[in-house]
Amino acid sequence: MRVLRYGETTIKAYSKSLEDLFIFCQGTPPAKITYNQVEAFLYKRYLDGVSWSTQNVYINSFNLWQKLAFKQKKRNYDKFRPRKTKTLPKPISKEQIKSGFSQIKNKKHLAICQLLYYCGLRRSEVINVKFTWFNADKTITIFGKGGKERSVPCDIISESLSAYVKEFQPKTYLFNGQKGEKYTASSIYSIVNKYFHCSPHQLRHSFATHLYLAKTDLITIKELLGHEKLETTQIYTKLDIDTKKEAVRVLAAS
């Protein structure tokens, strides 16, 4: 999977999915596991109430397993995919953004939150960003999903990033834990939730939504977010009622 440029998070999730399947099949050798056994496993997990996203991870991992291990391109489990309940992303308001940033005194916490909101990075991208990816023109070269490369401007946060680097002196990765290991996803979630009472992904959603409300064209937002398809970016045109109310309040205040 690393040769195919799958991310570490995906590798761990797929490995855990296969482990769950093997445990369910009670010692049946992997090469002997039948289509019906996989179907039974997926149905049980559905009855257990696992989320649609977890069910999709199971199916994606089993499809890849069949393809790589047994060269079974036609044998897949797509017919068991759940139907996703479409929900709009829930951005937080600009007032919440301002309030959250005003509370941050720790330079590392500030740098992490700024990369999520002012650069629109994914949490996994913040974890994996390397010190050498910062360029002289005040941009960051980001390698996103599938190794897709994009350049993200960071000039508006360059001063605080420089202050962080000067104090913490990172080596390879921009952010490290107390023992020098790579920063964890749970640590980043805790930091964001502490100041903004939301998830890291909501900060990224807010970045995109606020750009859209500021009349930024969707092509630019797509490139900044690192989306493969414009259709993915277009979800930000479907705003919830609270976001619409905020837009009207901004208009009234101008």
Q: Tell me, what CATH number does 48's domain have?
A: 1.10.150.130
In the set 45, 109, 122, 222, the catalytic residue is 122
Question: Is residue 26 located within the same domain as residue 75?
Answer: yes
In the set 58, 118, 164, 236, the catalytic residue is 236
Provide the pLDDT confidence category of residue 120 given band limits of 50, 70 and 90: very high
**R_g of the chain, CA atoms, integer Å:** 21
Q: Is residue 101 part of a domain?
A: yes
Question: Is residue 189 located within the same domain as residue 72?
Answer: no
Question: Is residue 115 located within the same domain as residue 154?
Answer: yes
Query: Given this model, what pLDDT does residue 135 score?
Result: 86
Average pLDDT over the chain reads 86
CA angle (65, 68, 70) in 5-degree steps: 85
Task: Give the pLDDT confidence of 172-188 residue by residue, as tens digits.
Answer: 899 988 777 888 999 99
In the chain, the number of structural domains is 2
Q: Encoding tokens for residue 173?
A: 């990765």
Q: Which of 129, 134, 131 is nearest to 171 (CA)?
A: 131
Task: Kindly state the average pLDDT of the residues 50-73.
Answer: 84
| CATH value at residue 164 | 1.10.443.10
Going from the C-alpha of 64 to that of each of 60, 78, 128, 203, the distances in angstroms are 6, 12, 24, 32
Query: Given this model, what pLDDT does residue 46 score?
Result: 83
In the set 81, 90, 145, 194, the catalytic residue is 145
Question: Is residue 121 located within the same domain as residue 61?
Answer: no
If 0-12 CB within 10 Å is exposed, 13-18 middle and 19+ buried, where does residue 186 land? Answer: exposed
Q: Is residue 2 part of a domain?
A: no
Q: Is 227 a catalytic residue?
A: yes
Question: Is residue 44 located within the same domain as residue 121?
Answer: no
Q: Is residue 167 part of a domain?
A: yes
Q: Is residue 212 part of a domain?
A: yes
What distance separates the 2 farthest-apart alpha carbons in the chain?
68
Q: What residue ranges in the chain does DSSP mark as E strands?
A: 139-143, 149-153
Q: Is 249 a catalytic residue?
A: no
Q: Is 6 a catalytic residue?
A: no
**The domain containing residue 33 runs over which residues?**
8-80
Question: Is residue 70 located within the same domain as residue 123?
Answer: no
Contact 164, 108 (CB under 8 A): yes
Q: Is residue 85 part of a domain?
A: no
Question: Is residue 74 located within the same domain as residue 117?
Answer: no
Q: Is residue 3 part of a domain?
A: no
In the set 67, 81, 107, 201, the catalytic residue is 201
Question: Is residue 44 located within the same domain as residue 113?
Answer: no
Last residue of a domain, one of 80, 106, 141: 80
Residue indicated by tokens 């309940």: 85
Q: Is residue 190 part of a domain?
A: yes
Say which residue, 50 or 150, is predicted with more confidence. 150
Q: Is residue 220 part of a domain?
A: yes
Going from the C-alpha of 19 to that of each of 47, 82, 129, 144, 163, the distances in angstroms are 19, 21, 29, 27, 44
pTM: 0.66
Last residue of a domain, one of 21, 50, 80: 80
In the set 45, 123, 204, 210, the catalytic residue is 204
CA pair distance 64, 202, nearest whole angstrom: 30
- H/E element, 186: helix 185-196
Question: Is residue 171 located within the same domain as residue 52?
Answer: no
Q: Is 204 a catalytic residue?
A: yes
